[in-house]
Structure 1
Amino acid sequence: MANKTAPLTDTEIRQAKAKEKEYNLGDGKGLLLRIKPNGSKLWLFNYQRPYTKKRAVLSVGSYPEVSLKQARQTRLKYRELLANDVDPKDYKQEQEAQAKEALTNTFEHVANLWLESKRDTITSGHFQQVKRSLEKDLFPSLGKKPISTLKATSFITLLRSIEAKGSLETVKRLSQRINNIMNYAVNYGLIEVNPAQAIGEVFKKPKKKHYPTLKPEQLPDLMKALNTASIQLQTRCLIEWQLHTITRPSEASGTKWSEIDFKQKTWTIPAERMKSRIEHIIPLSEQALALLDIMKSINGNRQHVFSSRINPKKPMNSATANVALKRMGFRGVLVSHGLRALASTTLNEQGFNSDVIEACLAHIDKNEVRKAYNRSTYLEQRIKVMTWWSEHIESTSQNHLLTTKKSRLKVVT
């Protein structure tokens, strides 16, 4: 009959003295306490490895940092693993690797990986906007935390403080970004479940806001203000260029001469500058081309049609038009992005085909078949729409910047 090892006691462990050679005290069932010549005491687990049946010794920790009770708990866990043919050494290495990976895969690290994956699908301006949002609102509180430790309450607590300030739009955007980051972590295999999937439902919903714009009958007021405004010629041309081409502020201010085809009378905005990340071709009216003629005398030898005064190698700031509109008395009434809504409302009221108008606005049809059709056949129809729109703008202005032409307005359907 095999000898049964008597369990150790705390007193026995404390009183164990160092000897010239290291020796072991057994607690039974594979748990040993090794006393070294320098007096240190180390817990060990001696076991037979599954399948190979070779003996192995695994460190459990030092005494007294790991107590007798804790060492026995570890022994119990390791014996349970062995009962399921799992090697405790392999298990321990896996746990250590996961812990190390968790420290590396912080929320900030994973968020940056997610954002980088979006670089080719969003504009550079939007990329920088999202980056600043993460750095300002999320990273200070959550950035250094392992993503595997974050729960829904981790995000909700942070967003509650932003909600309390009344910044509901910010809360909505951050909720969406957090959800996207955590979904990325799931797809990357860093976490099993996205705990932030429905955090947006916890907060108050912001009221939908539209860009301030003018009614169609107020277009003459805008043109009159432009005619008399004390603003730079380049700024005025930028506002009119955006108005005539029905483009977004950043698309208009970033116009490059290389994008203009004077022979075909078109402006091709490359995909990387478009919100949709799809190349957009704009038919240029005679009025739009006349604006380019004016800008040639100012920036004809530069890369951008509307160059920055501070750094001529860069385009004008997309906010320049907004600043000018405020100075002209349109604060809270009209922003440059609202010029698109003004054009859309006017063209719809005049009875133009709504699909053609959406194509002029570079809005993406979610129906893939319709989207392909729109891109391939609407250019000719858009030429007529853009021509009408420019002539309508010109007809509402006295002492227009461009050579006034006799209006030939008629609805094209």
Structure 2
Amino acid sequence: MGIVDDEPAQRLLLAETLNRAGWRTLCGENGYQAVDIASRCNLLLLDVRMPGMSGLEALQQIQQLPAPPVVVLLTAYIDVRDAVAAIRMGAADYLEKPVDLDELLTVIEDALGLGHRDQEVLDLPPGVIAESEALRDLFRQALRVAPTSATVLLTGESGTGKEIFARLIHARSPRSAGPMVTVNMGAVPEHLAESELFGHEKGAFTGADQARPGRFEEADGGTLFLDEIGELVPALQPKLLRVLETGVFRRVGGTADKRADVRVIAATNRNLEEEVAAGRFREDLYYRLNVFPLRIPPLRERREDIIPLAELFLKPWKKRLSPAAARALTAWSWPGNARELRNVVERAAILADGDMILPEDLPDTLRLLPRENVPSESPERPLMEEAQRRAILEALEKTGGNRTKAAQLLGISRRSLIYKLRAYGL
């Protein structure tokens, strides 16, 4: 942990606080030392106003390092322009002097991703974003079903992250040491689907020069993820039902029954109830798959996740979103969900001249879309967002700009408040 401040008493106080919390510290007193220390720490507390090289100038150089640390700015001056400039240049956060020591530890925890004191911490894989309560509740359900042997049916639009949930359930299950085998039923030619799932014997069909195990055999002792299960041809549906009920199947061209100890997780972007009603999907198979259903909401239903996801996708590019670009991303309906969001922000990162993504770096469909005409939007949404914006400003005013206390007043996590501040350009 690095601490750079030109005031000796401030350095000592911060160092003692962090040492008591279990961190080792490196201290410096000017911007030049900050650049040197930055290469040797995970997080740097950096004063803005220092003689010689200022904190902002040092930050600019630090961001050019191959692996820059997380930077939190310290300032005795409530200068919004400095704060905005710092965030744009890559700072994770800033603290006002005199530093509230409780807030200091909270900010460090948030900046390093160590958890939230005012929000339940979910044990999620690295790189998984779940700011919205809808998604957090879904992950809670996934973690609850993971240790069981129940068949899980994941439903949701394309690009919502169904495979992420499947992999999480497998990883947290007693089968985690076994294989996880994935089959996209929509990508398997109809005439090869049975062989793909159950394998075949030599000579079973033209081109079957040797016997080959199917996916059920490969997944023995582990998990089989059947993606796009709604594409399964009707002729195979009774055979899949049999193996789900008994664990028994036969290879194509075979005469002997085989067994596989497999947990099945299925996923689809179709409405299987409608497929059943239309006669395209067996009702008994649907109920056998739908033991534990998980519906993953589209991105437009969990807008709190849009900016955190975008920032995650931008990390390798070392670019940040301007407030106006963040507002444009939040306004869009994302029919392609997280997959579309990733494509958009990575394209913007390539087009952006500097380290800041501006609205003009985004596709025309996003930056020219009036907020009141956002597809699938409630007409009341702009009014709701304006009410949220006013509530945030009032909370900040009541707490003297203390974002930790403002978040507590609003009943949200500090990190959620920071995302909203960015999205609303505050």
**Greater RCO structure (CA 8 Å; 6+ sep):** 2
Name the structure with the higher strand share: 2
Structure showing greater radius of gyration is 1
Name the structure with the higher helix share: 1
Q: TM-score per shorter chain, which class?
A: under 0.3
